[in-house]
Structure 1
Amino acid sequence: MRFFSRKLIKPEDLNAHGTLFGGSVLAWIDEEAAIYVICQLGKSNIATKFMSEIDFVSSAKLGDIIEIGMETVHFGTTSITVKCEVRHKFTKQSIIRIDKIVFVHLDENGRPTPHGVSEPANE
């Protein structure tokens, strides 16, 4: 798993309990996964199709730095599947794990179309 981005937990990222709001981190994951997939495919016309169970393992608090990691799991004809882990930068404690996020490559009409990629890009 490669960790590409980091986030500083700020007051606007917190929930009513003073810990990291799940909606904020899920938005960050979706954006990071999309960027990762675009880099893997070399094509930007993609859409998130599916996310498997989201495992909230622990949380983060104000001032913590988290990092978001991605790994390619599978290339389909029109899809690519990645997995994700969000962890605390310094302790490496896992915060969230998602085993399967599926993206689909789309044509100009929004229909699935082959992407022509069969192995991960070397970044």
Structure 2
Amino acid sequence: MRFHTRKWVKPEDLNPNETLFGGRLLAWIDEEVALYTLIQLENKRIVTKFMSEINFMSSAKQGDIVELGIEVVRFGKSSLTLKCEARNKMTRETILTVDNIIMVNLDENGKPAPHGKTQIEFVKDRLAD
């Protein structure tokens, strides 16, 4: 799994227990998988269709750094299925895992559309063409 994004836990990210609010972490994950999918499918019209069970294993405190890792599970006809792990860079503990996040590629009318992709592409390889 590749960890591309880091988030710094600030006071506005905390719950009443003074640990990272789970909803904030899920928003970070949703944004990160959307950006990843947009880049992979080369289409800004993508939506989150499904998130499987979310397994919270630990937390983070103010000042900690959270890393988000994403891995492609499967390319569908009009979708991309990913898995995600968030980990605390300071304690090295996994904060949560999400085994299946399905992102859907849309056409200009907002309907699912085939994307034609079958494997991960890196921007540096696209630029080499």
TM-score norm. by structure 2 comes to 0.92
Query: Identity percentage over the alignment?
Result: 57
How do 1:35-46 residues align onto structure 2 when only pairs under 5 Å count? 35-46=35-46
| Cα distance in 2 for residues equivalent to 1:59 and 1:17 | 11
Regions of 4+ moved over 6 Å: none
How do 1:1-123 residues align onto structure 2 when only pairs under 5 Å count? 1-122=1-122
User: Alignment partner of 1:26: what SS?
Assistant: helix
User: Alignment partner of 1:29: what SS?
Assistant: helix
Amino acid at match of 1:118: T
Unmatched runs of 5 consecutive residues or more in structure 2: 124-129
Amino acid at match of 1:39: I
| Cα distance in 2 for residues equivalent to 1:59 and 1:101 | 21
User: Alignment partner of 1:69: what SS?
Assistant: strand
User: Alignment partner of 2:84: what SS?
Assistant: strand
Aligned length: 123
Q: Deviations over 1:25-73 (max 9, x none)?
A: 0000000010111111122110000000000010000110110010000
Alpha-carbon RMSD? 1.0
Unmatched runs of 5 consecutive residues or more in structure 1: none
